[in-house]
Structure formats: structure tokens, C-alpha cells
Structure 1
Amino acid sequence: MTDQIPTPHQSRPTIGVHFKCCNVYVTIYQNHTGTAYAGHCPRCAARIEIPIVDKGGSASRFFTGS
């Protein structure tokens, strides 16, 4: 056991994705490097990755994947 002081849990940014393949809505999280939002469909495991860009991105917090 260590004597480290626990740090407060910081939540990772999220976005909502509707997977048309299985008609499922899920929340996906920002990856650990902060370069994209990555996740998968909970039913068929279809992967989705939405890159985070400095200019020209979207202000939307909800997306549709197929």
C-alpha cells in the first residue's frame, strides 16, 4: 500500500453517437492522447473514430455513424 494522496477524478470529454447499423445511441469518450473521440457499437462492434482538429471542426456534440 502506498501513502499517495488520491487526486480527484477528472471526467473525460464525451460526444453522443447514433449507430445506424444497429439503431443504438451511445456516448463515446475522448482517447487518452486527446486526438480523437473513439468508440464502438455495443451490438456489432463497428468502430468509429472522430478526429479532433484545431480549425474547421464541428460544434456538434451528436453524430451518426453507419
Structure 2
Amino acid sequence: MTDQSPTPHQPRPSVGVHFKCCNVYVNIFQNHAGTAYAGHCPRCAAQIEIPIVEQGGSSTRFFTGS
């Protein structure tokens, strides 16, 4: 029997998005590939994808979608 201690759960990175279409705020999460934040409006299913870039990106953690 090997001693494997559990690793602490790391929350997935997220950003906040205000969907103007339905006036709702949600957090969207980083995709599994780590290339973008992707999600959808919980009311009308409008999709949004915010690419993650190495240089020249934004330090903002809150965005507005249409």
C-alpha cells in the first residue's frame, strides 16, 4: 500500500461577464485547453469566448457581452 495524500482542489480560473442581452451576470471559466475563457448566457444561450493571450492582454476580470 502506498501513501498518497490528497492534493488540494484548485479552483478553475474564471472571469465575470455581464450579458447585456438578458441583463445577467455570470462567471465563465477557462476551457480545458487553457486557451480561452468560454461560456454562455444562462437565459438565451448567447455564447462568448475570450481568448487568453501571452502579451498585450488585459488585466480586467470583468467583461460585457452582447
Cα drift, residue 5 of structure 1: 5.6
Amino acid at match of 2:33: T
Amino acid at match of 2:56: G
Moved over 4 A (4+): none
Cα drift, residue 9 of structure 1: 1.5
Q: Distance in 2 between matches of 1:7 and 1:60?
A: 30
> TM-score w.r.t. structure 2 length?
0.88
Cα drift, residue 8 of structure 1: 2.4
Q: Distance in 2 between matches of 1:57 and 1:32?
A: 19
> TM-score w.r.t. structure 1 length?
0.88
Amino acid at match of 2:26: V
| 2:43 counterpart residue number | 43
Does the residue aligned with 2:45 lie in a helix, a strand or coil?
coil
Q: What is the CA deviation profile of residues 7-43 of structure 1, one whole-angstrom value per residue up to 9, with x for unaligned ones?
A: 3221111100000000000000001111000000000
| 1:25 counterpart residue number | 25
Does the residue aligned with 1:43 lie in a helix, a strand or coil?
coil
Amino acid at match of 1:43: R
Does the residue aligned with 1:44 lie in a helix, a strand or coil?
coil
> Structure 2 regions of 5+ residues with no counterpart?
none
Percent identical among aligned pairs is 81
Does the residue aligned with 1:26 lie in a helix, a strand or coil?
strand
CA RMSD after TM alignment = 1.1
> Structure 1 regions of 5+ residues with no counterpart?
none
